[in-house]
Structure 1
Amino acid sequence: MMNSRFLLPFTLFAVAAFGQNHFELKDASKNYDVKINVENCDKDECRGKAVIDLIDKKTSKKFQTFTSEDLNFYLKEDQKPTANIIQLYDEQSPLIFDDFNFDGTEDLAIRNGNESSYGGPSYEVYVFNSTKKQFVISEELTNLAYENLGMFQTDSERKRLITYAKSGCCWHLTTEYTVVPKKGLLKVYELEEDATGGDERVKVTKRELEDDKWTANIKDYPISEYYKD
């Protein structure tokens, strides 16, 4: 059974109840203008239930409507939200437009609270379905955005999705995935940095999937040398 959180974006809220907390974004997407109505705004931060409308740039007609239980975001100096910013331990925009499955069409991730690792931002991730001609929720990609340190990074040149995880100050894991058509995500690379030994050294383990087999390379460095940059 699908986790109940995937049902949230399809629950509509009354836009009129959100008062004047209305924002329009013209440059977030190459295909759509965006209208956002969010429940609460206080100074430079907004959060709460929100409705997001995508407006087709070519026809100026509403293309699709989404909702979020908690579209938490900060406002820029011009009192508008950002889009498409993903910074580890820093700003992550309420809306991320990108081609997450590398099929040549624009996809969309929508902020929904702070339920990822260490209370970081969490996202529902939608991919464009060329048959249905609309965005549909991707459970697999949404899980990726909930189970790691915020939204994953997209490397379009290498066609990789990159996640980050940690445990305390001294253990970090970077993981890369490819997207296999009709099969989903395939983990192909891990970088584990383990400095939990307490001896001022870090054990660095690189694992790669090559020809359907995992290989591992393990090296040990002084912490001062490894993190000098």
Structure 2
Amino acid sequence: MKKTLLLCFLLSGWILSALGQASFNIDGFSKQYYGKVYFADTSALTSAGWVEVYDRITNKKLIHVDADELSFDLHDGEIKPNIAEIPYGEYSVLLYQDYNFDGKKDFAIMDGFNSCYQGPSFLIYLATENGFQFSGDFTELAQDFCGMFSVDYKEKTLSTMTKDGCCWHQFSKYIVEDNKPKLIRTFTDNLKNDPLHIQTTEEWDGKKMVESVSTTINLKSESVENYFKFHVDAMNKSIILYNKNGHTLNYAIMDDKKNVEFYYPSDDSDQSEEFTYNKETGNVSFENKDTTYTIYEKSGKLGINITYKGKTHQWVGNPKSRKGSIGKLLRVKLDNVVYQSSNT
């Protein structure tokens, strides 16, 4: 049970002062070592302080870490080691675990809340024949991501997670080679450009990292206010125009496996004059690099003409597959569409 102590009393052999300063033993994790932690201010949820590790036989100090912030969590009046509720839960200021899979337990010592979104961060000290040595490589995994990395002893891998807001997450996996973490897989889940869902995997194939990308579209997303869609039977692809958040027009080509092969605009910025809509012809056109795309719908006919270096490829749409219409889609004024007539 967590408690915040504000009064002056004797607890676990350490004095809690009226000024809110406190020191505690950290014990029960090893027959060889014990720890100490000092909090400068116990009236807050976090406090500046330090963490130390001692040899139990000689009482020699082995590790000292100053911290700008430490979490002040008590369990029945004690500071417990080895609590790591990855990624966002409670963390002990001292973790004692084998991180490099050499059969010897190492230390992770909290030095503040410097990981992503002010999550806890740790310094890693590896057990060696000459005592505990600081490892910058392992420490990076405990500083640059969200909270402490996790350990899988069965697969002998380490895992990290980081994020950017609600809609972008990245998960990475490492093995240990030459006593250093080595990245073997990264998976990125990106929903920042909703309704597009972009998943990117980078995996070590023994020589290099190989990337694969999967992009899908959710036309039932709340960000999609209206859309026009039809199927091109000859190419076995679907053409989609959609109104995003009532502000922008967007375009996508989807293959028969419902993967988005191409989308435009390529980012989530609101740029002006990206599309041109001719009310009289019913055409919507835009340019991307050396290619011009013209989507049409008139007199029961629909399709898309793709012109590249002077040559036009005509993709005729199946009228029976049509959902929505260009006219209805562009009835509202969108920020990135220029509306014109044939005489303009």
Q: TM-score range by the shorter chain?
A: 0.7 to 0.9
- The one-character-per-residue Cα deviations of 1:6-39 (angstroms, maximum 9, x if unpaired) are xxxxxxxxxx9x9562222322336422232332
Q: 1:106 corresponds to which letter in structure 2?
A: K
Tell me whether 1:214 sits opposite 2:213 in the alignment.
Answer: no
Paired with 2:211 and 2:140, the residues of 1 have a C-alpha distance of 26
Structure 1: 5+ residue stretches without partners: 1-15, 224-229
Aligned twin of 1:29? 30
Structure 1 or 2: more helix by fraction: 1
Paired with 2:176 and 2:41, the residues of 1 have a C-alpha distance of 37
Paired with 1:38 and 1:152, the residues of 2 have a C-alpha distance of 25
Report SS of the residue matched to 2:25.
Answer: strand
- Cα contact 1:126–1:136 (8 A) shared by 2: yes
> Residues 217 and 52 from structure 1, CA distance in 2 versus in 1: closer, same or farther, beyond 3 angstroms?
same
Tell me whether 1:40 sits opposite 2:36 in the alignment.
Answer: no
- Cα contact 2:120–2:148 (8 A) shared by 1: yes
Aligned twin of 2:117? 118
Report which structure shows greater RCO (CA 8 Å, sep ≥6).
Answer: 1
Aligned twin of 1:9? none
Aligned twin of 1:52? 52
- Cα contact 1:205–1:219 (8 A) shared by 2: yes
Paired with 2:165 and 2:22, the residues of 1 have a C-alpha distance of 37
Aligned twin of 2:274? none
> Residues 202 and 92 from structure 1, CA distance in 2 versus in 1: closer, same or farther, beyond 3 angstroms?
farther
- Cα contact 1:36–1:53 (8 A) shared by 2: no
- Aligned pairs, how many? 201
Report SS of the residue matched to 1:141.
Answer: helix
* TM superposition shift of 1:165: 0.8
* TM superposition shift of 1:173: 0.2
Structure 2: 5+ residue stretches without partners: 1-13, 219-344
Structure 1 or 2: more strand by fraction: 2
- Cα contact 2:172–2:186 (8 A) shared by 1: yes
> Residues 37 and 192 from structure 1, CA distance in 2 versus in 1: closer, same or farther, beyond 3 angstroms?
same
Paired with 1:119 and 1:37, the residues of 2 have a C-alpha distance of 21
Q: 2:188 corresponds to which letter in structure 1?
A: E
* TM superposition shift of 1:74: 2.8
* TM superposition shift of 1:214: 2.8
Deviation >4 Å, runs of 4+: 220-223
Paired with 2:110 and 2:75, the residues of 1 have a C-alpha distance of 21
Paired with 2:125 and 2:65, the residues of 1 have a C-alpha distance of 12
- Cα contact 2:36–2:52 (8 A) shared by 1: yes
Report the identity percentage.
27
Report SS of the residue matched to 1:53.
Answer: strand
* TM superposition shift of 1:63: 5.4
Query: Which aligned pairs between 1:172-183 and structure 2 lie closer than 5 A?
Result: 172-181=169-178
Q: 1:99 corresponds to which letter in structure 2?
A: D
With the length of structure 2 as denominator, give the TM-score of the two structures: 0.52
Paired with 1:146 and 1:25, the residues of 2 have a C-alpha distance of 23
Paired with 1:26 and 1:77, the residues of 2 have a C-alpha distance of 13
* TM superposition shift of 1:206: 2.6
Q: 2:28 corresponds to which letter in structure 1?
A: D
Structure 1 stretch 22-31 or stretch 203-212: which is displaced more?
22-31
With the length of structure 1 as denominator, give the TM-score of the two structures: 0.76
Paired with 2:26 and 2:90, the residues of 1 have a C-alpha distance of 18
- The one-character-per-residue Cα deviations of 1:54-104 (angstroms, maximum 9, x if unpaired) are 233xx3643524132335113234122232222212212211111111111
Query: Which aligned pairs between 1:50-89 and structure 2 lie closer than 5 A?
Result: 50-56=50-56, 59=57, 61-62=59-60, 64-70=62-68, 72-86=70-84, 87-89=86-88
Paired with 1:203 and 1:31, the residues of 2 have a C-alpha distance of 49
Report SS of the residue matched to 2:40.
Answer: strand
Query: Which aligned pairs between 1:63-212 and structure 2 lie closer than 5 A?
Result: 64-70=62-68, 72-86=70-84, 87-130=86-129, 132=130, 134-181=131-178, 184-199=180-195, 201-212=196-207
Q: 1:212 corresponds to which letter in structure 2?
A: K
